[in-house]
A and B are shown apart, each in its own frame.
Chain A
Amino acid sequence: MPQVFHPSANTLSRVVLFGLAAGPAALLGTMMLLVRSPFQTQVGVVREQPVQFSHEHHVKGLGIDCRFCHSSVETSASAGMPPTHTCMTCHSQIWSGSPMLEPVRASFKEQKPLAWTRVHDVPDFVYFHHGVHVQKGVGCAECHGRIDNMPLAWREKPLTMEWCLECHRNPEPRLRPKDEVFVMDWTPPEGSGLEAAREANPKSHVEVGQLTNCSICHR
């Protein structure tokens, strides 16, 4: 009786065995990486906007405080997008002929809000509250990165639940004195770091044990 398999089947069977083990592992690994990559999290991805608004120019260049435009950030859940009127406070006089600002003037004239593309969009089953984070001493830069260095806005952090919980389980290293919240380039004073934050913590009533309850965000 002839042999069923050619000797080359030895190699083939080893490759198949390896593939049976490595294939699913590689597939799972790729999926794990993919959901954490900018493809899924959009970290560092610049989105098309109706107006090429530059935070770099307005914050670093002109020194405008965050709250001038995002006025409700200290009190309400939403930090608020500034209405066209806020833009026109200056741009009715400054660069009033710039073609770049044409959509802003059109919006003002037609009484139609500018359709900004949201860069930080969490699903609607997540109830994120800006006010409480600002009140407890989470600086803007902790979550949004150095927005004063962004000519066009991008997402600095992945906004995954994993990322949120990392801080809710161990907030101290990310907290700062309340009056430093809106300072973009704040760094903890030399040597004080964690201790200062731990001391400040009881004063701001951050109860770490409760911060990971579902009802904190998923109301």
Chain B
Amino acid sequence: MAETHHHAGGGDPLPPVIAPGHTYASVTATIADVVLKRPPDWRWFLGMGAASSLLLIFGGAVANLLLTGVGIWGVNAPVMWGWAIINFVWWVGIGHAGTLISAILLLLKQQWRTSINRFAEAMTLFAVACAGMFPLLHMGRPWKFFWMMPYPSTMALLPQWRSPLVWDVFAVSTYATVSALFWYVGLIPDLATLRDRAKNKYLAMAYGALALGWRGSGRHWARYKTAYMLLAGMSTPLVVSVHTVVSLDFAAGVIPGWHATIFPPYFVAGAIFSGFAMVVTLCVPLRSWYGLKDFITDRHLDNMAKIMLATGMIVGYGYAMEFFIAWYSGNPFEEYLLLHARPFGTYKNAYRTMICCNVLIPQLLWAPSIRRNAVVLWVISIFVNIGMWLERYVIVITSLSEDFLPSSWAPYSPTIWDVATFAGTIGLFTFFIFLFVRSLPAIAIAEMRELVHETQHHGHGAQAHGEKA
């Protein structure tokens, strides 16, 4: 394993990817008991209560939106895309870390993905579910959404294939489907474990039905591995292309501040940046509340912090290039927007806070002591989440609010319904997360058992981990 080489040196103060002393049984028991044995405590009820309240707000906001129209939002004539699109891009971006962890790190044979991939994939699914709300809700006539699909209609019409918004439909729906499949395929052996451990007959039947009769035979495993690798191979280009398509919503436009060829890679980097920030935001409380620190160790936090630092630097490079090209191009509109309006104009606070959150604060992650301090890292990840939301805010709002014609300049401010809809999707997300940790194993049990096997029986791996035991 590639991972074992670099800490075999002995001087590495980091814990291994799984705390020593674990057996197959202890791994299985620790993870499965969260679902099967532990009764939900006050933190779960508090969280679920808060999430459900936000979900009710979401229902109210959507009902008002459908009854009254999109005019209840703060969008106006130059700024026709407001919080809805900002939130859409933000949520889609968050989802991408899940796929990166489950697919790309799998292809790169990174052992440390094992204990975080399951809930990161769940996070992807729930984030994509939240993201998917906005393209539907921000339509003036959401009940006509199926006109974006190519189907044999009585109008003899197909969607306009040249619009990135149509590509969005395909990108996001494919992404949601493949992520769900990938997640489910990964869950099958674990569902079988839960089936076998469940004491309640009906619970055993529920997990048994979902496990599709998994018996864990050699033939099962061989096919499972092939399918899992194939799905990982398919998800990897998907994760890059989906956020590229999302970035083309802007980059294909002619608006100064949008029409930039750097957008596809810079958006993907930003997606991974914000996605990892959300994984950290979720896994720090998860591991401490459910006693999973043996599996999600400080090594995981350290590695995730490094990825956040790397992608944060790419995002910083993106900001610098936008700035540089605005000056280098000599285009007065681009120059005005990037060099004057964003840093010194109406929205200067959003822009400056964004730079602080996304470029300056992540620089702290160069220090190993900060990377391994769960609380500090958690706070930094919150700042990154805020910063990446502001990045989309800056791109969408500032570019639209002051573009080519000064006669069509108008400021944008959100209404209470913009806020309620966004808060509502946060409720939807957390609702699903709380449901997930209670009903499905938050860590891939089968893969953890494999990790135990590798660390105990794999030649140099055993040695390396043995030292730290």
| A–B Cβ pairs within 8 angstroms, 11 of them | A4-B201, A5-B205, A13-B209, A13-B213, A32-B152, A160-B154, A161-B154, A161-B157, A162-B154, A162-B155, A165-B156
Q: B188-216 toward A: CB 8 Å interface, digit per residue (1/0)?
A: 00000001100001001100110011000
Q: Which residues of A contact B213 (CB under 8 A)?
A: 13
Least CB distance from A94 to B in Å reads: 43
Q: Which residues of A contact B153 (CB under 8 A)?
A: 162
State A103–B205 Cα separation when bound (angstroms).
70
Q: Which of A1, A5, A161 contacts B155 (CB 8 A)?
A: A161
Q: Which of B154, B196, B204 contacts A35 (CB 8 A)?
A: B154
Least CB distance from B210 to A in Å reads: 12
A158 CB within 8 Å of chain B: yes
Across chains A and B, which 9 residue pairs bring their CB atoms closest together, nearest first?
A160-B154, A162-B156, A161-B155, A4-B208, A165-B156, A162-B154, A4-B204, A35-B154, A4-B205
A36 CB within 8 Å of chain B: yes
State A173–B208 Cα separation when bound (angstroms).
62
State A36–B155 Cα separation when bound (angstroms).
11
State A1–B152 Cα separation when bound (angstroms).
53
Give A214's nearest chain B residue, CB to CB.
B157
Contacts A4-B205, A5-B205, A5-B208 given; does A158 touch B154 at CB 8 Å? yes
Q: Which residues of B contact A4 (CB under 8 A)?
A: 195, 201, 204-205, 208
CB pair B154 A36 closer than 8 Å: yes
Q: Report, as a range, how many residues of chain B touch the other chain.
A: 10 to 19
Q: Which residues of A contact B208 (CB under 8 A)?
A: 4-5
Least CB distance from A167 to B in Å reads: 11
Give A16's nearest chain B residue, CB to CB.
B209
Chain A-chain B contacts (Cβ-Cβ < 8 Å), number: 27
Q: Which residues of B contact A36 (CB under 8 A)?
A: 154
Q: Which residues of A contact B209 (CB under 8 A)?
A: 13
Give A10's nearest chain B residue, CB to CB.
B213
* Residues B231-270 near A (CB distance < 8 A): none
* Residues A161-217 near B (CB distance < 8 A): 161-162, 165-166
Q: Which residues of B contact A32 (CB under 8 A)?
A: 152
Given contacts A1-B196, A13-B209, A162-B154, 10 further A-B contacts (CB under 8 A): A4-B201, A4-B208, A5-B205, A5-B208, A35-B154, A36-B154, A160-B155, A161-B154, A165-B156, A166-B156
State A7–B324 Cα separation when bound (angstroms).
69
Least CB distance from A70 to B in Å reads: 27
* Residues A45-99 near B (CB distance < 8 A): none
Most chain A CB inside 10 Å of its own CB: which residue of B152, B156, B208, B209 = B156
* Residues B141-169 near A (CB distance < 8 A): 152-157
Q: Which residues of B contact A5 (CB under 8 A)?
A: 205, 208
State A158–B324 Cα separation when bound (angstroms).
59
Q: Which residues of A contact B152 (CB under 8 A)?
A: 32
State A179–B137 Cα separation when bound (angstroms).
54
CB pair B205 A161 closer than 8 Å: no
Q: Which residues of B contact A166 (CB under 8 A)?
A: 156
Least CB distance from B143 to A in Å reads: 14
Least CB distance from A6 to B in Å reads: 10
Give A166's nearest chain B residue, CB to CB.
B156
Q: Which residues of A contact B154 (CB under 8 A)?
A: 35-36, 158, 160-162
State A5–B201 Cα separation when bound (angstroms).
10
Least CB distance from B399 to A in Å reads: 29
Give B196's nearest chain A residue, CB to CB.
A1
State A5–B213 Cα separation when bound (angstroms).
10
Q: Which of B156, B204, B212 contacts A161 (CB 8 A)?
A: B156
State A165–B195 Cα separation when bound (angstroms).
57
Least CB distance from B413 to A in Å reads: 34
Q: Which residues of B contact A162 (CB under 8 A)?
A: 153-156
Least CB distance from B155 to A in Å reads: 4
Give A32's nearest chain B residue, CB to CB.
B152
Least CB distance from A37 to B in Å reads: 11
Least CB distance from B176 to A in Å reads: 16
Q: A1-36 toward B: CB 8 Å interface, digit per residue (1/0)?
A: 100110000000100000000000000000010011
Least CB distance from B458 to A in Å reads: 32
Q: Which residues of A contact B204 (CB under 8 A)?
A: 4
Q: A134-171 toward B: CB 8 Å interface, digit per residue (1/0)?
A: 00000000000000000000000010111001100000
Least CB distance from A168 to B in Å reads: 10
Give A2's nearest chain B residue, CB to CB.
B201
Give B212's nearest chain A residue, CB to CB.
A13
Give B198's nearest chain A residue, CB to CB.
A4
Least CB distance from A8 to B in Å reads: 13
* Residues B29-57 near A (CB distance < 8 A): none
Least CB distance from B150 to A in Å reads: 13
Give B155's nearest chain A residue, CB to CB.
A161
Q: Which residues of B contact A35 (CB under 8 A)?
A: 154
State A181–B327 Cα separation when bound (angstroms).
67
* Residues B410-456 near A (CB distance < 8 A): none
State A119–B195 Cα separation when bound (angstroms).
62
Q: Which residues of A contact B155 (CB under 8 A)?
A: 160-162
Q: Which residues of A contact B212 (CB under 8 A)?
A: 13
State A158–B204 Cα separation when bound (angstroms).
54
Least CB distance from A121 to B in Å reads: 16
Give B211's nearest chain A residue, CB to CB.
A4
State A158–B154 Cα separation when bound (angstroms).
10
Q: Which residues of B contact A161 (CB under 8 A)?
A: 154-157
Least CB distance from A170 to B in Å reads: 12
Q: Which residues of A contact B196 (CB under 8 A)?
A: 1
Q: Which residues of A contact B156 (CB under 8 A)?
A: 161-162, 165-166
State A55–B58 Cα separation when bound (angstroms).
57
State A35–B154 Cα separation when bound (angstroms).
8
State A5–B152 Cα separation when bound (angstroms).
42
Give B204's nearest chain A residue, CB to CB.
A4
* Residues B371-414 near A (CB distance < 8 A): none
Give B195's nearest chain A residue, CB to CB.
A4
Least CB distance from A107 to B in Å reads: 37
Least CB distance from A123 to B in Å reads: 12
Give B154's nearest chain A residue, CB to CB.
A160
